[in-house]
Structures are given as structure tokens and as C-alpha cells.
Amino acid sequence: MLKKIPKLLSPELVRTLMEMGHGDELVLADANYPGHALHSRVLRADGIGIPRLLDAILELLPLDHYAPAQAAFMAVVEGDPTVPVIWDTYKEILTRHDPEVQVEYEERFDFYDRSKHSYAILITGEEALYGNIILKKGVISPEAGE
């Protein structure tokens, strides 16, 4: 055990966050996501919802403000009546950790393609439809004192 690392984060996930560099992306995927078919670096957090993990990850992970958007949600498929209320929860968590965060929306298959180029995919126990999110890692500036 270490101090100040959220207990929700596994040693493997903390290591992955440490290994990631500026601009690398982490996919937080729902329980239905085909992560193993898309990527060779897949971590698991079965039984844990994305909101709790997102909050814990953002305690450690700086977001990339050199990019137009620091997070991406999987857009609702055209014709699907689903309204992803989970997005409001994600936006609240993102904004609490980074008030200037910008979010973009990726079409489903574009999201899958982007996942293939991510640093890693974290499959969670999240059951909300369209509950997937991509985070782009930023840098810690010397002035921030972090």
C-alpha cells in the first residue's frame, strides 16, 4: 500500500498510468466493450463502475490541454433512442478535476478504431449504454507544483 493512491486503482493500472506519455490515451470501457478484440494491452476492473474509476484516475492523471479535447465519449448510434445520462456524471467528474476540460464525441466505429491506437483499454463493470470514455494524458508543468 502507498499513501495518496486511490485504493480503487490496481497496481497494474497505476503502472500503466505511469508508463503513459503525453498524448497517450486510456480507454475506460463498459462491460460490453470488445476490448480484447481491439487491443493487446487490456486491464480489467470488473464490478467497478466508470464514475468511481474516472474520479480515482483523475486524481493522478493530468489531461492534455494541447489537444482540442481531453476526453471523448462514444456517440449514440443514429436512430438509437438511448439518452446516455451517464455522460452528465462523467462531465461533472471531469470538470471537478479540470474546469477547462473539453469533450468530443466519436462515432461508434471511429471510437473502436481510436481504441486500437490507445495506450491501453480498461474494461470495467460499467453497465450504462454508451458509457465508454477516452482520456488523453497531458503533462504536469513545473509551475503547477504537482
Catalytic residues: 22
Q: Which three cell numbers stand for residue 28?
A: 475506460
Q: Measure the CA–CA gap between 130 and 3, rounded to whole angstroms.
A: 34
Neighbours of 44 (CB within 10 A): 17
Q: Measure the CA–CA gap between 134 and 105, rounded to whole angstroms.
A: 10
Neighbours of 18 (CB within 10 A): 9
